[in-house]
Amino acid sequence: MASKRKKINLKAKEGFVLILVLWILAILVLLGVGVGTTTSVDQRLVSYQRDRLMALYLAKAGYFRALVEIEGDRTLQVDSYLDLWAHNPEAFGGATLGEGSFTVSYPLPGEDGSGGVVYGVADEDRKVNINTASKAVLARLPGMTEEIAQSLLDWRDKHSGDRPFKLLEELLLVEGMTDEVFQALQPFITIYTDGKVNLNTAPREVLKALEMGEGLVNKISRFRRGLDDVRGTKDDQSFTSLGGAEQQLNAFDSLSPQEAAQLTNLITQNRLKVTSSFFRIHSKGTVRDGKIIRSVEGIVQRGTGASRSLALLSWHEY
Contact 238, 82 (CB under 8 A): yes
Task: Give the C-alpha separation, 170 to 177, whole Å.
Answer: 10
Helix, strand, coil tally for the chain in percent (to 5): 50, 15, 35
With a cut of 80, say whether residue 212 has pLDDT above it.
yes
At 261-294, the pLDDT tens digits run 999 999 999 999 999 999 999 999 999 888 899 9
Classify the phi-psi angles of 110: left when phi > 0, otherwise alpha if psi is within -120 to 50, otherwise beta. left
At 38-96, the pLDDT tens digits run 566 567 778 888 899 999 999 999 999 999 999 999 888 999 999 999 999 999 999 99
At 152-167, the pLDDT tens digits run 999 999 987 778 999 9
